[in-house]
A and B are shown apart, each in its own frame.
Chain A
Amino acid sequence: MTSRTFVTIGAGQAAAVAARTLRRRGFDGRIVLIGDEPHAPYQRPPLSKEFLAGSEGLDSLTLLPQKWLDNNDIEIVTGTTVTRVDPASRSVELDGAAPILADAVLFATGGRPRTVPVPGPRPDLVHYLRTLDDARRLQHALAPGKRLVVVGAGFIGLELAATATAMGVEVTVVEAAPIPLGGILGEPMGQVCMRLHRSNGVDLRTGTPVDSIRTTADGVLVELGDNTTLAADLVVIGIGIEPNVTAAAASGLRVDNGIVVDAQGRTDLPNIFAAGDVARRWSDRAGRHVRLEHFDNANKQGVAAANAMLGRDAVNDDAPWFWSDQYTQNLQLIGNRSATGEVAIRGSVDDLDFTAFYLDGDTVCGAFTIDRGEDVMAVRELLGRRIDPAVLTDEDTDLWDLLDAEEPAEVVA
Protein backbone atom coordinates (compact mmCIF):
# COMPACT_ATOMS: atom_id res chain seq x y z
CA MET A 1 0.00 0.00 0.00
CA THR A 2 3.00 2.25 0.55
CA SER A 3 3.23 3.28 -3.06
CA ARG A 4 -0.36 4.38 -3.48
CA THR A 5 -1.26 8.01 -4.06
CA PHE A 6 -4.52 9.61 -3.00
CA VAL A 7 -5.42 13.00 -4.48
CA THR A 8 -8.28 15.31 -3.52
CA ILE A 9 -9.44 17.90 -5.99
CA GLY A 10 -10.46 20.69 -3.70
CA ALA A 11 -9.02 21.34 -0.24
CA GLY A 12 -12.05 22.23 1.85
CA GLN A 13 -13.90 20.44 4.62
CA ALA A 14 -14.65 17.16 2.82
CA ALA A 15 -11.09 16.85 1.47
CA ALA A 16 -9.48 17.62 4.83
CA VAL A 17 -11.69 15.16 6.66
CA ALA A 18 -10.99 12.49 4.05
CA ALA A 19 -7.24 12.99 4.51
CA ARG A 20 -7.56 12.73 8.28
CA THR A 21 -9.71 9.62 7.98
CA LEU A 22 -7.21 7.92 5.66
CA ARG A 23 -4.41 8.39 8.18
CA ARG A 24 -6.61 7.29 11.07
CA ARG A 25 -7.36 4.13 9.13
CA GLY A 26 -3.68 3.45 8.60
CA PHE A 27 -3.26 4.51 4.99
CA ASP A 28 0.46 5.22 4.66
CA GLY A 29 0.66 6.22 1.01
CA ARG A 30 0.98 9.69 -0.46
CA ILE A 31 -1.85 12.16 0.18
CA VAL A 32 -2.11 15.32 -1.92
CA LEU A 33 -4.77 17.99 -1.43
CA ILE A 34 -5.12 20.35 -4.39
CA GLY A 35 -7.04 23.58 -3.83
CA ASP A 36 -7.59 26.51 -6.15
CA GLU A 37 -7.65 29.00 -3.29
CA PRO A 38 -4.37 30.39 -1.95
CA HIS A 39 -5.02 28.90 1.52
CA ALA A 40 -4.54 25.64 3.36
CA PRO A 41 -7.85 23.95 4.30
CA TYR A 42 -10.00 26.18 6.50
CA GLN A 43 -13.49 26.14 7.98
CA ARG A 44 -16.13 28.10 6.13
CA PRO A 45 -18.93 28.36 8.75
CA PRO A 46 -17.32 31.25 10.68
CA LEU A 47 -16.87 33.35 7.52
CA SER A 48 -20.37 34.81 7.80
CA LYS A 49 -20.25 34.99 11.58
CA GLU A 50 -17.35 35.24 14.04
CA PHE A 51 -14.64 35.74 11.46
CA LEU A 52 -16.56 38.42 9.60
CA ALA A 53 -17.30 40.16 12.89
CA GLY A 54 -13.59 40.15 13.69
CA SER A 55 -14.07 38.25 16.95
CA GLU A 56 -12.13 35.27 15.60
CA GLY A 57 -8.93 35.39 13.62
CA LEU A 58 -7.37 33.32 10.92
CA ASP A 59 -5.94 30.75 13.34
CA SER A 60 -9.38 29.71 14.50
CA LEU A 61 -10.33 28.75 10.95
CA THR A 62 -7.54 26.21 10.54
CA LEU A 63 -8.86 22.75 9.75
CA LEU A 64 -5.68 20.70 9.94
CA PRO A 65 -3.05 22.06 12.35
CA GLN A 66 0.42 22.47 10.84
CA LYS A 67 1.88 20.06 13.37
CA TRP A 68 -0.62 17.41 12.32
CA LEU A 69 0.15 18.03 8.66
CA ASP A 70 3.88 17.66 9.34
CA ASN A 71 3.48 14.55 11.44
CA ASN A 72 1.17 12.93 8.93
CA ASP A 73 3.02 13.91 5.79
CA ILE A 74 0.17 15.59 3.92
CA GLU A 75 0.99 17.57 0.77
CA ILE A 76 -1.12 20.65 0.19
CA VAL A 77 -1.03 22.33 -3.20
CA THR A 78 -2.72 25.75 -3.14
CA GLY A 79 -3.74 28.16 -5.87
CA THR A 80 -3.91 25.39 -8.45
CA THR A 81 -6.78 24.44 -10.72
CA VAL A 82 -7.36 20.86 -11.82
CA THR A 83 -8.55 20.77 -15.42
CA ARG A 84 -9.46 17.09 -15.63
CA VAL A 85 -8.61 13.58 -14.54
CA ASP A 86 -7.79 11.10 -17.25
CA PRO A 87 -10.18 8.28 -16.36
CA ALA A 88 -7.96 5.51 -17.71
CA SER A 89 -4.61 6.47 -16.18
CA ARG A 90 -6.06 8.59 -13.32
CA SER A 91 -3.59 11.26 -14.20
CA VAL A 92 -4.72 14.45 -12.44
CA GLU A 93 -4.06 17.23 -14.91
CA LEU A 94 -3.26 20.64 -13.51
CA ASP A 95 -3.41 24.10 -15.01
CA GLY A 96 0.20 25.23 -15.22
CA ALA A 97 1.88 22.34 -13.40
CA ALA A 98 2.94 18.77 -14.04
CA PRO A 99 0.19 16.13 -13.73
CA ILE A 100 -0.02 13.86 -10.69
CA LEU A 101 -0.62 10.15 -11.16
CA ALA A 102 -3.17 8.97 -8.63
CA ASP A 103 -4.45 5.59 -7.49
CA ALA A 104 -7.61 7.19 -6.16
CA VAL A 105 -9.13 10.61 -6.63
CA LEU A 106 -11.71 12.45 -4.54
CA PHE A 107 -13.62 15.30 -6.15
CA ALA A 108 -14.41 17.72 -3.34
CA THR A 109 -14.67 20.83 -5.45
CA GLY A 110 -17.54 22.44 -3.55
CA GLY A 111 -19.53 25.20 -5.15
CA ARG A 112 -19.35 28.81 -6.23
CA PRO A 113 -21.92 31.55 -5.62
CA ARG A 114 -24.61 32.04 -8.21
CA THR A 115 -23.97 35.40 -9.75
CA VAL A 116 -26.02 38.12 -11.39
CA PRO A 117 -24.59 40.63 -13.84
CA VAL A 118 -24.09 44.05 -12.26
CA PRO A 119 -23.20 46.81 -14.72
CA GLY A 120 -21.59 50.08 -13.67
CA PRO A 121 -18.25 51.61 -12.78
CA ARG A 122 -17.82 50.11 -9.27
CA PRO A 123 -17.86 46.31 -9.34
CA ASP A 124 -15.86 46.47 -6.11
CA LEU A 125 -19.05 47.44 -4.25
CA VAL A 126 -20.69 44.13 -5.12
CA HIS A 127 -19.83 41.16 -2.91
CA TYR A 128 -20.38 37.44 -2.66
CA LEU A 129 -19.50 35.32 0.37
CA ARG A 130 -18.01 31.89 -0.09
CA THR A 131 -14.28 32.06 0.47
CA LEU A 132 -11.89 33.42 3.06
CA ASP A 133 -10.84 36.13 0.61
CA ASP A 134 -14.49 37.06 0.03
CA ALA A 135 -14.94 37.39 3.80
CA ARG A 136 -11.83 39.54 4.20
CA ARG A 137 -12.89 41.86 1.41
CA LEU A 138 -16.35 42.19 2.90
CA GLN A 139 -14.96 42.70 6.38
CA HIS A 140 -12.96 45.69 5.15
CA ALA A 141 -16.01 47.14 3.40
CA LEU A 142 -18.36 46.93 6.40
CA ALA A 143 -18.35 49.84 8.81
CA PRO A 144 -20.84 51.42 11.21
CA GLY A 145 -23.43 53.55 9.42
CA LYS A 146 -22.85 51.98 6.00
CA ARG A 147 -25.94 50.99 4.07
CA LEU A 148 -25.84 47.32 3.09
CA VAL A 149 -28.35 45.61 0.86
CA VAL A 150 -28.35 41.81 1.01
CA VAL A 151 -29.99 40.10 -1.93
CA GLY A 152 -31.42 36.76 -0.80
CA ALA A 153 -32.66 35.75 2.65
CA GLY A 154 -31.08 32.31 2.78
CA PHE A 155 -28.79 31.24 5.60
CA ILE A 156 -25.75 33.09 4.25
CA GLY A 157 -27.76 36.28 3.72
CA LEU A 158 -29.40 36.14 7.13
CA GLU A 159 -26.23 35.27 9.05
CA LEU A 160 -24.47 38.09 7.32
CA ALA A 161 -27.38 40.45 8.06
CA ALA A 162 -27.12 39.52 11.74
CA THR A 163 -23.35 39.99 11.84
CA ALA A 164 -23.45 43.30 9.97
CA THR A 165 -26.26 44.63 12.17
CA ALA A 166 -24.18 43.88 15.24
CA MET A 167 -21.35 45.86 13.62
CA GLY A 168 -23.60 48.92 13.35
CA VAL A 169 -24.29 48.56 9.63
CA GLU A 170 -27.74 49.55 8.31
CA VAL A 171 -29.02 46.35 6.74
CA THR A 172 -31.80 45.81 4.22
CA VAL A 173 -32.49 42.24 3.04
CA VAL A 174 -34.57 41.65 -0.07
CA GLU A 175 -36.09 38.26 -0.79
CA ALA A 176 -38.33 37.21 -3.66
CA ALA A 177 -40.16 34.52 -1.64
CA PRO A 178 -42.95 35.61 0.72
CA ILE A 179 -41.15 34.13 3.73
CA PRO A 180 -37.44 33.64 4.36
CA LEU A 181 -36.26 30.02 4.67
CA GLY A 182 -39.83 28.85 3.99
CA GLY A 183 -38.61 26.10 1.69
CA ILE A 184 -36.40 24.48 4.26
CA LEU A 185 -38.18 25.36 7.52
CA GLY A 186 -41.79 25.72 6.40
CA GLU A 187 -43.97 28.78 6.79
CA PRO A 188 -44.47 28.98 10.57
CA MET A 189 -40.76 28.73 11.39
CA GLY A 190 -39.87 30.98 8.46
CA GLN A 191 -42.13 33.56 10.07
CA VAL A 192 -40.26 33.19 13.35
CA CYS A 193 -36.96 33.87 11.56
CA MET A 194 -38.50 36.88 9.85
CA ARG A 195 -39.54 38.32 13.21
CA LEU A 196 -36.10 37.58 14.63
CA HIS A 197 -34.47 39.79 12.01
CA ARG A 198 -37.06 42.56 12.02
CA SER A 199 -36.93 42.80 15.81
CA ASN A 200 -33.17 43.27 15.53
CA GLY A 201 -33.63 46.22 13.22
CA VAL A 202 -33.13 44.62 9.82
CA ASP A 203 -35.36 45.97 7.05
CA LEU A 204 -36.36 42.56 5.69
CA ARG A 205 -38.48 42.87 2.57
CA THR A 206 -40.05 39.64 1.44
CA GLY A 207 -42.10 38.94 -1.64
CA THR A 208 -39.78 41.43 -3.28
CA PRO A 209 -37.91 40.33 -6.39
CA VAL A 210 -34.94 42.36 -7.57
CA ASP A 211 -35.29 43.79 -11.08
CA SER A 212 -31.75 45.09 -11.52
CA ILE A 213 -28.60 46.05 -9.69
CA ARG A 214 -26.11 48.60 -10.96
CA THR A 215 -23.25 50.55 -9.48
CA THR A 216 -22.70 54.28 -9.73
CA ALA A 217 -19.62 56.37 -9.00
CA ASP A 218 -20.14 56.07 -5.26
CA GLY A 219 -22.77 53.44 -4.55
CA VAL A 220 -25.15 50.75 -5.68
CA LEU A 221 -28.75 51.10 -6.86
CA VAL A 222 -31.01 48.11 -6.35
CA GLU A 223 -34.27 48.32 -8.27
CA LEU A 224 -37.01 46.21 -6.78
CA GLY A 225 -40.05 44.60 -8.36
CA ASP A 226 -42.34 46.99 -6.53
CA ASN A 227 -40.74 49.92 -8.39
CA THR A 228 -38.79 51.21 -5.42
CA THR A 229 -35.05 51.74 -5.68
CA LEU A 230 -32.71 51.15 -2.77
CA ALA A 231 -29.51 53.17 -2.58
CA ALA A 232 -26.71 51.28 -0.87
CA ASP A 233 -23.03 51.68 -0.11
CA LEU A 234 -22.49 48.03 -0.86
CA VAL A 235 -24.41 44.93 -1.88
CA VAL A 236 -23.98 41.28 -1.01
CA ILE A 237 -25.61 38.75 -3.29
CA GLY A 238 -26.47 35.49 -1.53
CA ILE A 239 -28.73 33.48 -3.81
CA GLY A 240 -27.20 30.05 -3.48
CA ILE A 241 -24.33 28.15 -5.04
CA GLU A 242 -23.67 26.15 -8.17
CA PRO A 243 -21.66 22.95 -7.75
CA ASN A 244 -18.18 23.12 -9.28
CA VAL A 245 -18.40 20.34 -11.85
CA THR A 246 -16.24 21.59 -14.73
CA ALA A 247 -13.30 19.28 -14.07
CA ALA A 248 -15.62 16.36 -13.30
CA ALA A 249 -17.50 16.80 -16.56
CA ALA A 250 -14.23 17.08 -18.46
CA SER A 251 -13.18 13.78 -16.88
CA GLY A 252 -16.26 11.99 -18.16
CA LEU A 253 -18.07 11.71 -14.84
CA ARG A 254 -21.84 11.74 -14.70
CA VAL A 255 -22.94 15.22 -13.75
CA ASP A 256 -26.51 16.18 -12.97
CA ASN A 257 -26.82 19.03 -10.46
CA GLY A 258 -23.58 17.79 -8.91
CA ILE A 259 -21.44 14.72 -9.40
CA VAL A 260 -23.66 11.66 -9.18
CA VAL A 261 -22.32 9.08 -6.71
CA ASP A 262 -23.53 6.03 -4.81
CA ALA A 263 -24.30 5.99 -1.10
CA GLN A 264 -20.62 6.01 -0.19
CA GLY A 265 -19.33 8.53 -2.71
CA ARG A 266 -18.27 6.24 -5.58
CA THR A 267 -18.68 7.68 -9.07
CA ASP A 268 -19.36 5.53 -12.13
CA LEU A 269 -15.62 5.39 -12.79
CA PRO A 270 -13.38 3.12 -10.74
CA ASN A 271 -11.38 4.71 -7.92
CA ILE A 272 -12.89 8.12 -8.48
CA PHE A 273 -15.04 9.49 -5.68
CA ALA A 274 -16.91 12.67 -4.80
CA ALA A 275 -17.99 14.19 -1.48
CA GLY A 276 -19.24 17.43 0.05
CA ASP A 277 -21.30 20.18 -1.56
CA VAL A 278 -20.50 18.98 -5.07
CA ALA A 279 -21.68 15.38 -4.64
CA ARG A 280 -25.19 14.19 -5.33
CA ARG A 281 -25.27 10.86 -3.54
CA TRP A 282 -27.81 8.14 -3.20
CA SER A 283 -29.66 8.19 0.11
CA ASP A 284 -31.75 5.21 1.21
CA ARG A 285 -33.27 7.44 3.85
CA ALA A 286 -34.52 9.93 1.27
CA GLY A 287 -35.18 7.32 -1.40
CA ARG A 288 -33.41 9.45 -3.98
CA HIS A 289 -30.15 11.21 -4.72
CA VAL A 290 -29.49 14.21 -2.48
CA ARG A 291 -27.01 17.05 -2.68
CA LEU A 292 -26.58 18.78 0.68
CA GLU A 293 -24.64 21.97 1.24
CA HIS A 294 -23.97 21.52 4.93
CA PHE A 295 -20.82 21.30 7.00
CA ASP A 296 -21.98 18.09 8.67
CA ASN A 297 -22.62 16.48 5.28
CA ALA A 298 -19.12 17.42 4.10
CA ASN A 299 -17.65 15.83 7.24
CA LYS A 300 -19.59 12.62 7.06
CA GLN A 301 -19.26 12.12 3.33
CA GLY A 302 -15.55 12.92 3.54
CA VAL A 303 -15.20 10.06 6.03
CA ALA A 304 -17.40 7.72 3.96
CA ALA A 305 -15.48 8.37 0.73
CA ALA A 306 -12.13 7.83 2.46
CA ASN A 307 -13.40 4.49 3.73
CA ALA A 308 -14.68 3.57 0.27
CA MET A 309 -11.27 4.36 -1.11
CA LEU A 310 -9.77 1.86 1.32
CA GLY A 311 -12.33 -0.75 0.31
CA ARG A 312 -14.35 -0.45 3.50
CA ASP A 313 -18.12 -0.30 3.51
CA ALA A 314 -19.05 2.59 5.77
CA VAL A 315 -22.10 4.33 4.43
CA ASN A 316 -23.30 7.34 6.36
CA ASP A 317 -26.92 8.15 5.75
CA ASP A 318 -27.56 10.16 8.92
CA ALA A 319 -30.43 12.61 8.89
CA PRO A 320 -29.42 16.05 7.67
CA TRP A 321 -28.34 18.42 10.42
CA PHE A 322 -27.07 21.97 10.39
CA TRP A 323 -26.83 24.98 12.62
CA SER A 324 -26.86 28.70 12.13
CA ASP A 325 -25.86 31.41 14.58
CA GLN A 326 -27.75 34.69 14.20
CA TYR A 327 -27.52 37.55 16.73
CA THR A 328 -27.25 35.77 20.08
CA GLN A 329 -29.48 32.91 18.93
CA ASN A 330 -28.39 29.43 17.93
CA LEU A 331 -30.62 27.79 15.31
CA GLN A 332 -30.49 24.11 14.38
CA LEU A 333 -32.42 21.83 12.07
CA ILE A 334 -32.32 18.07 12.38
CA GLY A 335 -34.11 15.86 9.86
CA ASN A 336 -36.61 17.45 7.53
CA ARG A 337 -39.68 19.58 7.84
CA SER A 338 -43.06 17.98 7.25
CA ALA A 339 -44.94 18.66 4.02
CA THR A 340 -47.08 21.33 5.62
CA GLY A 341 -44.36 22.76 7.82
CA GLU A 342 -46.73 22.74 10.78
CA VAL A 343 -45.00 22.24 14.10
CA ALA A 344 -45.60 21.17 17.68
CA ILE A 345 -43.79 23.55 20.00
CA ARG A 346 -41.90 22.62 23.13
CA GLY A 347 -40.86 25.76 24.97
CA SER A 348 -41.55 29.37 24.07
CA VAL A 349 -41.48 30.89 20.59
CA ASP A 350 -41.91 34.38 22.03
CA ASP A 351 -38.82 33.91 24.19
CA LEU A 352 -36.91 32.35 21.25
CA ASP A 353 -36.25 29.29 23.38
CA PHE A 354 -37.94 26.28 21.85
CA THR A 355 -37.86 23.03 19.94
CA ALA A 356 -40.39 22.81 17.10
CA PHE A 357 -41.18 19.23 16.12
CA TYR A 358 -42.14 18.46 12.55
CA LEU A 359 -44.60 15.59 12.36
CA ASP A 360 -45.77 13.59 9.40
CA GLY A 361 -49.09 12.52 10.83
CA ASP A 362 -47.82 11.46 14.24
CA THR A 363 -44.38 10.39 13.04
CA VAL A 364 -41.46 12.61 14.01
CA CYS A 365 -39.62 13.69 10.83
CA GLY A 366 -37.53 16.57 12.12
CA ALA A 367 -37.12 19.47 14.50
CA PHE A 368 -36.07 23.09 14.35
CA THR A 369 -34.61 24.54 17.53
CA ILE A 370 -33.74 28.00 18.72
CA ASP A 371 -31.36 27.87 21.68
CA ARG A 372 -32.40 24.27 22.38
CA GLY A 373 -29.51 22.46 20.76
CA GLU A 374 -29.56 20.06 23.70
CA ASP A 375 -32.69 18.46 22.18
CA VAL A 376 -31.11 17.81 18.79
CA MET A 377 -29.43 14.49 19.56
CA ALA A 378 -32.55 13.14 21.23
CA VAL A 379 -34.68 14.14 18.25
CA ARG A 380 -32.21 12.47 15.92
CA GLU A 381 -32.86 9.20 17.74
CA LEU A 382 -36.62 9.78 17.69
CA LEU A 383 -36.88 10.35 13.93
CA GLY A 384 -39.34 7.95 12.33
CA ARG A 385 -41.09 7.15 15.60
CA ARG A 386 -44.75 7.76 16.25
CA ILE A 387 -45.17 9.93 19.31
CA ASP A 388 -48.12 11.88 20.65
CA PRO A 389 -47.38 15.59 20.08
CA ALA A 390 -48.82 16.37 23.53
CA VAL A 391 -46.07 14.22 25.02
CA LEU A 392 -43.33 15.84 22.91
CA THR A 393 -44.37 19.35 23.84
CA ASP A 394 -44.73 18.62 27.55
CA GLU A 395 -41.64 20.14 29.14
CA ASP A 396 -41.88 17.57 31.92
CA THR A 397 -41.20 14.83 29.37
CA ASP A 398 -37.54 13.87 29.15
CA LEU A 399 -37.10 13.27 25.41
CA TRP A 400 -34.58 10.51 26.12
CA ASP A 401 -37.21 8.63 28.13
CA LEU A 402 -39.33 8.40 24.98
CA LEU A 403 -36.50 6.49 23.42
CA ASP A 404 -36.23 4.16 26.40
CA ALA A 405 -39.94 3.49 26.24
CA GLU A 406 -39.65 1.76 22.93
CA GLU A 407 -36.22 0.19 22.94
CA PRO A 408 -33.63 -0.94 25.47
CA ALA A 409 -31.79 2.11 26.76
CA GLU A 410 -28.53 2.95 25.07
CA VAL A 411 -28.46 6.25 26.84
CA VAL A 412 -25.83 6.66 29.49
CA ALA A 413 -28.00 7.03 32.53
Chain B
Amino acid sequence: MTEDWIAVATTKDLTRRRKLRVEVDGAAIALFHAGGQVYAFDDVCIHQDRSLFKGTLWQGKVICPGHQWQFDLETGHEEDQDRCQPTYEVRVDADTIYVNPRARRVAAATTAEEAHS
Protein backbone atom coordinates (compact mmCIF):
# COMPACT_ATOMS: atom_id res chain seq x y z
CA MET B 1 0.00 0.00 0.00
CA THR B 2 1.51 3.30 -1.06
CA GLU B 3 1.80 6.39 1.10
CA ASP B 4 -1.21 7.93 -0.67
CA TRP B 5 -3.50 5.72 1.38
CA ILE B 6 -4.40 7.26 4.70
CA ALA B 7 -5.96 5.42 7.61
CA VAL B 8 -9.15 7.27 8.55
CA ALA B 9 -11.20 4.96 10.74
CA THR B 10 -11.70 1.42 11.94
CA THR B 11 -14.37 -0.78 10.44
CA LYS B 12 -15.68 -1.28 13.98
CA ASP B 13 -16.38 2.46 14.33
CA LEU B 14 -18.05 2.74 10.96
CA THR B 15 -20.08 -0.46 11.19
CA ARG B 16 -21.57 0.67 14.45
CA ARG B 17 -22.53 4.16 13.26
CA ARG B 18 -22.92 3.45 9.53
CA LYS B 19 -21.74 7.03 8.84
CA LEU B 20 -18.59 8.90 9.85
CA ARG B 21 -17.13 12.27 8.98
CA VAL B 22 -13.35 12.45 8.78
CA GLU B 23 -10.86 15.08 7.66
CA VAL B 24 -8.01 14.16 5.37
CA ASP B 25 -5.52 16.78 4.23
CA GLY B 26 -8.07 19.46 5.14
CA ALA B 27 -10.81 17.83 3.09
CA ALA B 28 -14.00 16.71 4.81
CA ILE B 29 -14.89 13.17 3.77
CA ALA B 30 -18.04 11.27 4.67
CA LEU B 31 -17.71 7.50 5.09
CA PHE B 32 -20.70 5.24 4.67
CA HIS B 33 -21.19 1.57 5.41
CA ALA B 34 -23.91 -0.11 3.40
CA GLY B 35 -24.47 -3.59 2.04
CA GLY B 36 -21.17 -4.74 3.52
CA GLN B 37 -19.21 -2.11 1.58
CA VAL B 38 -17.46 1.08 2.60
CA TYR B 39 -17.89 4.25 0.55
CA ALA B 40 -16.15 7.63 0.77
CA PHE B 41 -17.71 10.86 -0.51
CA ASP B 42 -16.88 14.52 -0.33
CA ASP B 43 -18.83 15.47 2.76
CA VAL B 44 -20.00 18.83 1.41
CA CYS B 45 -22.92 18.38 -0.96
CA ILE B 46 -22.35 19.79 -4.45
CA HIS B 47 -25.79 21.37 -4.31
CA GLN B 48 -25.77 23.71 -1.35
CA ASP B 49 -22.96 22.78 0.97
CA ARG B 50 -24.93 20.67 3.44
CA SER B 51 -23.10 17.82 5.16
CA LEU B 52 -23.76 14.45 3.53
CA PHE B 53 -22.54 12.81 6.71
CA LYS B 54 -25.87 13.88 8.21
CA GLY B 55 -27.68 12.23 5.35
CA THR B 56 -29.68 9.05 5.08
CA LEU B 57 -28.59 5.72 3.58
CA TRP B 58 -31.44 4.32 1.57
CA GLN B 59 -31.58 1.72 -1.18
CA GLY B 60 -27.99 2.05 -2.30
CA LYS B 61 -27.99 5.82 -2.10
CA VAL B 62 -26.99 8.51 0.31
CA ILE B 63 -29.64 11.18 0.56
CA CYS B 64 -28.59 14.72 1.41
CA PRO B 65 -30.58 16.14 4.32
CA GLY B 66 -30.71 19.60 2.75
CA HIS B 67 -32.82 19.00 -0.34
CA GLN B 68 -33.04 15.22 -0.60
CA TRP B 69 -30.66 14.86 -3.53
CA GLN B 70 -29.98 11.13 -3.86
CA PHE B 71 -26.45 10.09 -4.72
CA ASP B 72 -25.67 6.57 -5.89
CA LEU B 73 -23.19 5.06 -3.45
CA GLU B 74 -21.21 3.37 -6.23
CA THR B 75 -20.83 6.35 -8.55
CA GLY B 76 -21.95 9.51 -6.74
CA HIS B 77 -24.44 10.15 -9.56
CA GLU B 78 -27.67 12.03 -8.84
CA GLU B 79 -30.11 10.79 -11.45
CA ASP B 80 -32.71 13.55 -11.30
CA GLN B 81 -30.10 16.30 -11.40
CA ASP B 82 -27.69 14.41 -13.62
CA ARG B 83 -24.80 15.66 -11.51
CA CYS B 84 -22.17 13.83 -9.50
CA GLN B 85 -20.85 14.11 -5.98
CA PRO B 86 -17.08 13.48 -5.84
CA THR B 87 -16.12 10.14 -4.35
CA TYR B 88 -12.86 8.55 -3.18
CA GLU B 89 -11.27 5.17 -3.50
CA VAL B 90 -11.47 3.12 -0.33
CA ARG B 91 -9.51 0.13 0.90
CA VAL B 92 -10.14 -1.95 3.96
CA ASP B 93 -7.22 -3.84 5.45
CA ALA B 94 -7.13 -5.58 8.81
CA ASP B 95 -10.12 -3.66 10.18
CA THR B 96 -8.68 -0.32 9.15
CA ILE B 97 -10.32 1.89 6.52
CA TYR B 98 -7.98 3.71 4.16
CA VAL B 99 -8.88 6.54 1.82
CA ASN B 100 -6.74 7.89 -0.98
CA PRO B 101 -7.43 11.64 -0.95
CA ARG B 102 -5.56 12.07 -4.23
CA ALA B 103 -7.90 9.72 -6.01
CA ARG B 104 -10.90 12.04 -5.94
CA ARG B 105 -13.26 10.99 -8.69
CA VAL B 106 -16.12 12.77 -10.34
CA ALA B 107 -18.05 10.38 -12.54
CA ALA B 108 -19.30 11.81 -15.82
CA ALA B 109 -22.86 13.03 -15.99
CA THR B 110 -24.84 11.41 -18.77
CA THR B 111 -25.04 14.41 -21.10
CA ALA B 112 -26.42 12.13 -23.78
CA GLU B 113 -29.10 9.87 -22.42
CA GLU B 114 -28.03 6.29 -22.92
CA ALA B 115 -31.40 5.29 -24.32
CA HIS B 116 -31.18 7.92 -27.02
CA SER B 117 -28.75 6.73 -29.64
Which residues from chain A sit less than 8 Å from chain B, CB to CB? 17, 20, 23-28, 50, 65, 67-68, 71-72, 299, 321, 323, 325, 330, 332, 372-374, 376-378, 410-413
CB distance from B90 to the nearest CB of A (A): 16
Number of A-B residue pairs with CB-CB distance less than 8 Å in the complex they form = 71
Smallest CB-CB separation from B19: which chain A residue?
A374
- Do B58 and A412 touch across chains, with their CB atoms under 8 A apart? yes
- Do B116 and A412 touch across chains, with their CB atoms under 8 A apart? no
Report which of A17, A28, A323 forms a contact with B67, defined as CB distance below 8 A: A323
Sample of 15 more A-B contacts, CB < 8 Å, known A372-B65, A411-B58: A20-B82, A20-B113, A24-B116, A65-B82, A72-B113, A299-B80, A373-B50, A373-B64, A373-B66, A373-B68, A374-B54, A376-B56, A378-B56, A411-B57, A413-B18
- Do B112 and A72 touch across chains, with their CB atoms under 8 A apart? yes
Q: How far is the CA of A299 from the CA of B78 in the complex (A)?
A: 14
Interface centre among B18, B58, B60, B113 (most CB of A within 10 A): B113
- A24-B58 contact in complex given A50-B48, A412-B34, C-beta closer than 8 Å: no
Chain A CB within 8 A of B94 CB = no
Q: How far is the CA of A377 from the CA of B68 in the complex (A)?
A: 8
Smallest CB-CB separation from B57: which chain A residue?
A412
- Do A377 and B115 touch across chains, with their CB atoms under 8 A apart? no
- Do A410 and B113 touch across chains, with their CB atoms under 8 A apart? no
CB distance from A358 to the nearest CB of B (A): 19
Chain A CB within 8 A of B96 CB = no
Which residues from chain B sit less than 8 Å from chain A, CB to CB? 18, 34-35, 48, 50, 54-60, 63-68, 80, 82, 109, 111-113, 115-116
- Do A410 and B59 touch across chains, with their CB atoms under 8 A apart? yes
Q: How far is the CA of A68 from the CA of B68 in the complex (A)?
A: 23
- A376-B68 contact in complex given A410-B59, A412-B34, A412-B57, C-beta closer than 8 Å: yes
Q: How far is the CA of A411 from the CA of B65 in the complex (A)?
A: 17
CB distance from A271 to the nearest CB of B (A): 22
Taking CB atoms, residues of chain B closer than 8 Å to A24 are 113, 115-116
Taking CB atoms, residues of chain B closer than 8 Å to A332 are 68
- Do B34 and A72 touch across chains, with their CB atoms under 8 A apart? no
- Do A28 and B58 touch across chains, with their CB atoms under 8 A apart? no
Q: How far is the CA of A330 from the CA of B49 in the complex (A)?
A: 12
Report which of B55, B80, B82, B112 forms a contact with A374, defined as CB distance below 8 A: B55
- Do B111 and A71 touch across chains, with their CB atoms under 8 A apart? yes
Taking CB atoms, residues of chain A closer than 8 Å to B115 are 23-26
CB distance from B105 to the nearest CB of A (A): 20
Report which of A25, A50, A68, A372 forms a contact with B82, defined as CB distance below 8 A: A68
Taking CB atoms, residues of chain B closer than 8 Å to A20 are 82, 113
Question: 4 smallest A-B Cβ distances: which pairs?
Answer: A373-B65, A71-B112, A374-B65, A412-B34
- Do B111 and A67 touch across chains, with their CB atoms under 8 A apart? yes
Smallest CB-CB separation from A332: which chain B residue?
B68
Taking CB atoms, residues of chain A closer than 8 Å to B55 are 374
Q: How far is the CA of A323 from the CA of B63 in the complex (A)?
A: 14
CB distance from A354 to the nearest CB of B (A): 13
- Do B59 and A72 touch across chains, with their CB atoms under 8 A apart? no
CB distance from A42 to the nearest CB of B (A): 14
CB distance from B62 to the nearest CB of A (A): 10
- Do A23 and B113 touch across chains, with their CB atoms under 8 A apart? yes
Q: How far is the CA of A332 from the CA of B64 in the complex (A)?
A: 13
Report which of B18, B63, B65, B116 forms a contact with A23, defined as CB distance below 8 A: B116
CB distance from A103 to the nearest CB of B (A): 18
CB distance from A29 to the nearest CB of B (A): 11
**Pairs A–B under 8 Å by Cβ, sample size 25:** A23-B115, A23-B116, A24-B115, A50-B48, A65-B82, A72-B116, A299-B80, A325-B48, A330-B50, A330-B65, A372-B65, A373-B54, A373-B64, A373-B66, A373-B67, A374-B54, A374-B65, A376-B68, A377-B56, A377-B58, A377-B63, A377-B68, A412-B58, A413-B34, A413-B35
Smallest CB-CB separation from B61: which chain A residue?
A412
Q: How far is the CA of A376 from the CA of B70 in the complex (A)?
A: 13
Taking CB atoms, residues of chain A closer than 8 Å to B35 are 412-413
Taking CB atoms, residues of chain A closer than 8 Å to B64 are 373
Q: How far is the CA of A412 from the CA of B63 in the complex (A)?
A: 12
Smallest CB-CB separation from B33: which chain A residue?
A413
Q: How far is the CA of A25 from the CA of B18 in the complex (A)?
A: 35
Q: How far is the CA of A234 from the CA of B50 in the complex (A)?
A: 33
- Do A412 and B65 touch across chains, with their CB atoms under 8 A apart? no
Report which of A27, A28, A65, A410 forms a contact with B111, defined as CB distance below 8 A: A65
Q: How far is the CA of A50 from the CA of B54 in the complex (A)?
A: 22
Q: How far is the CA of A26 from the CA of B116 in the complex (A)?
A: 5
Q: How far is the CA of A378 from the CA of B57 in the complex (A)?
A: 10
Smallest CB-CB separation from A398: which chain B residue?
B18
CB distance from A298 to the nearest CB of B (A): 12
